[in-house]
Amino acid sequence: MRDVRVEETERGPSITNGQVTVRVHLNRGTFDVLDADGRAIIADAAASVSITNGPAFTTRGAGLGLSGTNDVRDAQGDGLALVLLRDGDEHEPDLCVTVTLYPDQQFVVIQADVQNTSPGPIRIREFRPLDRARLDLGVPTATCRFYKHGWQSWSPTIVLDCAGEDVPASPPVVGPGTQPQPASGRFVSDLVTAVVDPASGRGAVAGFISAADQFSHVWLDTEPGEITAASYADGVEVARAGTLASERLAIDVSGPPITALERYGDALGREMDALPFDSVASGWCSWYHYFQGISEDEAIANLDYLAEHRDAIPVDLVQIDDGYQSEIGDWLTTNEKFPHGMKWLADRIHERGFKAGPWVAPFLAGAKSQLFGEHPDWFVKYSTGQPAIATVNWNQPCFALDLTHPEVQAWAANVFRTVLDDWGYDYVKIDFIFAAAVDGERHDPNVTRAQAYRRGLEIVREAAGGRFVLACGNPMGPSVGLVDAARIGPDVAPYWHPFDRGAPRPPMSDPAAINSIRNTLTRYWMHGRLWQNDPDCLLVRATDTALAGDEVRALATVIGLTGGMVLDSDKLPPLTPERRDIISLLLPVYGRSATPLDLFETTDLPSLLRLELPTHTLLAVFNWDDASGEREVPLPEGSWHVFELWEEEYLGVKSGSLVLPVPPHGCRLLRLTPDAGRPQVVGSTLHILQGALEIATEDWDGKKLRVTLRPVAKKDGAVYVTGEDGVRKVDIRDLTSERTIEAS
């Protein structure tokens, strides 16, 4: 525990906890953020506020005065805040900047707030707690990497080369107005970014740790190397003498940026009361084989298969995706493919011992729906009075419901009460929920888009109680604390690359295995900090798919090593035993995520995943190229027995690094076991973690090696042990109860 100290100098106050320091220049109206070595990584930062259809007020040049210091106690700890007030004219609103440090946190938190000193109300458009701060990593910004975080589940999250160009936000933000102007050399991220010098490994993470009220962006202008962070008040009114604050921005300039990004995730989770969980969900989902063609009969056929193969596929949940409802918006009536209705289906699922969950897109309604026909006034409106379109899908425009409207709130509460209480579902996937956050006019004019969205989520949460809510198509920040799980990437698909629609670059938010894999890797840090990550479904089938065997292995490796939900979405009855084994290999779900070691070193997708386990380390190496190639795999310090899972091959004792051929879109998954110089387990093919779950104990008494195995989903496989005469494969058959094997 360190102290937070404030020191006053002629220039202005400095606040420090020994790890991070903020130095204020009162006359200039700016501040610097210094790392533990005293380097000003962020320099000459201002804060500002802009009034809707009015002027902006910045601290830069106006000057700041020290109002005082406050002890604070909040989600981040017991901290000390420096409160600074912009020197302004009498007729200008008061702009206040609060800089908070905590003894045990390496980041500083900056918040801007405004007090309305005018006689009438004012409307606030946008806060910039960090406005055009110089970023100094000791290298030209153009040589850096920019972590671009997407605005909702399906939006690409990707590491970009700052010498190149930004990629447009996709799917496009519905309703313009609060995007920074596109500019040459400008890179824009939603909620959080990291800017990293790949050569030195140094970087800065800047992200909002509160997100319930305002959407936010952080952007970098590579020329001249400036970073800005804004949170959007969307024009809400502040009465005379009233105040309004920005969201809280954390800036972290210490140590490896990947750990700073993880610390950011911890802070966001704490601030937003992320929901805890004991275990990670697993199940079967109808979408990626049947799509809207799912029927009651097909659902039952797969359900029967799951019940019959419970040992091999021990999942909890059966998720009936899009395709049962009579229309988008009419959730309580089914179409002709579900003649017995959804309660009947929930009962059948429960009879066989599974949890049941339907898909619902509760915050929009299609033009063809009865809901829209009967209540055209329940929707967010453009200024023309026309209903706002959230998306065009299902062959119709779909309009955004106004979740600030009391009748809409009552309708939504009734939908979820019916689904969860009357029909008895245990789980719900709520999809396309960004619709509640579109820009436009609402019944309650004084809420932000983020607040309207959260009202919708709160209704779902209240109806759900402790039941499981999976968000999809969700803006990320304002979802934290209200959902148990969130989709963190675009749709997977039974093909690798997205369909090229003649676009200059591949559409990264469209369905494709590679698109879903990208976000699963780049948003790994959210899992267990904000919710359970849903990486989207595993697809293992060999027919009705364009995915090659190596692509299936890569998808399984990414899902299996990042700790999130495991939902298979194949037509189960025709699966071959070999392909079914790949589902088994991921069960039970281990639940902790590996780290993408080279996240900020490469651009686009990282290709090295490492997961440290009590007895061994897993290292996955991927080849994202379309051609096979060799990959160099750096081994940690020491000598290691190396075993590769997918080709089931023991590669010997190695140190330093290893060069491996890797097939296109494929991977190698290595178990590294520290060489103990005596008989030991070096591999297992019973689970993707290769021993972490199925090997209960391993004892060497000087003569014999005794290994106790615990059943996992895969019942047949092999354990590899070293002995005097090299490595031996011990075949394991029918592992349905605990068993001890011996070797010498």
Question: Which residues form the interface with ligand 9PG (CB under 6 A)?
Answer: 154, 171, 287, 321-322, 359, 391, 393, 431, 472, 491
* Radius of gyration, CA atoms only, the chain: 27
Q: Shortest distance, CB of residue 538 to ligand 9PG, whole angstroms?
A: 13
Q: Shortest distance, CB of residue 394 to ligand 9PG, whole angstroms?
A: 8
Residue 274, token pair as written in the block: 């992320």
Cα gap 193→179, rounded to integer Å: 15
Q: Shortest distance, CB of residue 465 to ligand 9PG, whole angstroms?
A: 23
Cα gap 603→518, rounded to integer Å: 11
Q: Shortest distance, CB of residue 334 to ligand 9PG, whole angstroms?
A: 16
Closer Cβ to ligand 9PG, 57 or 154, answer by number? 154
Closer Cβ to ligand 9PG, 541 or 668, answer by number? 541
Closer Cβ to ligand 9PG, 154 or 646, answer by number? 154
Q: What residues act catalytically?
A: 431, 491
Q: Shortest distance, CB of residue 298 to ligand 9PG, whole angstroms?
A: 16
Closer Cβ to ligand 9PG, 171 or 679, answer by number? 171
**Nearest residue to ligand 9PG, using CB?**
322
Q: Shortest distance, CB of residue 562 to ligand 9PG, whole angstroms?
A: 17
CA distances 65 to 24, 86, 112, 245, 642, Å, are 10, 6, 14, 18, 61
Name the residue type at position 569. Answer: S
Q: Shortest distance, CB of residue 75 to ligand 9PG, whole angstroms?
A: 31
CA distances 457 to 271, 450, 461, 481, Å, are 17, 11, 6, 10
The four Cα atoms 643, 646, 647, 648 give a dihedral, to 10 degrees, of 50
Helix (H, G, I), strand (E, B) or coil at 538: strand
Cα gap 287→651, rounded to integer Å: 39
Q: Shortest distance, CB of residue 176 to ligand 9PG, whole angstroms?
A: 18
Helix (H, G, I), strand (E, B) or coil at 144: coil
Closer Cβ to ligand 9PG, 174 or 669, answer by number? 174
Sign of CA dihedral 692, 564, 159, 227: negative
Q: Shortest distance, CB of residue 395 to ligand 9PG, whole angstroms?
A: 11
Exposure of 396 by Cβ count < 10 A (0-12 exposed, 13-18 middle, 19+ buried)? middle
CB 598 within 8 A of CB 634: no
DSSP assignment of 264-295, as one string? HHHHHHHHTTPPP-SS--EEEESHHHHGGG--
Closer Cβ to ligand 9PG, 567 or 609, answer by number? 567
The answer for residues whose C-beta is within 8 angstroms of residue 168's C-beta and 6 or more apart is none
Closer Cβ to ligand 9PG, 153 or 607, answer by number? 153
Angle value at C-alpha 171, between 168 and 175, nearest 5 degrees: 90
Residue in the structure block whose two tokens are 């912009």: 86
- How many Cβ atoms sit within 10 Å of the Cβ of residue 699? 10
Closer Cβ to ligand 9PG, 154 or 720, answer by number? 154
Cα gap 29→47, rounded to integer Å: 9
Give the β-pairing of 485-487 and 532-534: parallel
Cα gap 187→165, rounded to integer Å: 7
Cα gap 361→433, rounded to integer Å: 7
CB 444 within 8 A of CB 403: no
DSSP assignment of 184-232, as one string? TTEEEEESEEEEEETTTTEEEEEEES--SS--EEEEEETTTTEEEEEEE
Cα gap 403→408, rounded to integer Å: 6
Cα gap 723→705, rounded to integer Å: 9
Closer Cβ to ligand 9PG, 393 or 396, answer by number? 393
Q: Shortest distance, CB of residue 291 to ligand 9PG, whole angstroms?
A: 8
Closer Cβ to ligand 9PG, 198 or 498, answer by number? 498
Q: Shortest distance, CB of residue 605 to ligand 9PG, whole angstroms?
A: 20
Please provide the size of the chain in residues: 744
Residue 724, token pair as written in the block: 């005097």
Q: Shortest distance, CB of residue 422 to ligand 9PG, whole angstroms?
A: 23
Nearest alpha carbon to residue 554 among 485, 479, 627, 609: 609
List 358's β-bridge partners, or say none. Answer: 320
DSSP assignment of 62-127, as one string? T-EEEEEEEEEEETTEEEEEEEEEE---TTSPEEEEEEEE-TT-SEEEEEEEEE--SSS-EEEEEE
Closer Cβ to ligand 9PG, 295 or 639, answer by number? 295
Angle value at C-alpha 505, between 499 and 511, nearest 5 degrees: 35
Tell me whether the omega of the peptide bond preceding residue 614 falls within 30 degrees of 0, making it cis: no
Q: Shortest distance, CB of residue 174 to ligand 9PG, whole angstroms?
A: 11
- How many Cβ atoms sit within 10 Å of the Cβ of residue 244? 22
Closer Cβ to ligand 9PG, 293 or 634, answer by number? 293
Closer Cβ to ligand 9PG, 208 or 290, answer by number? 290
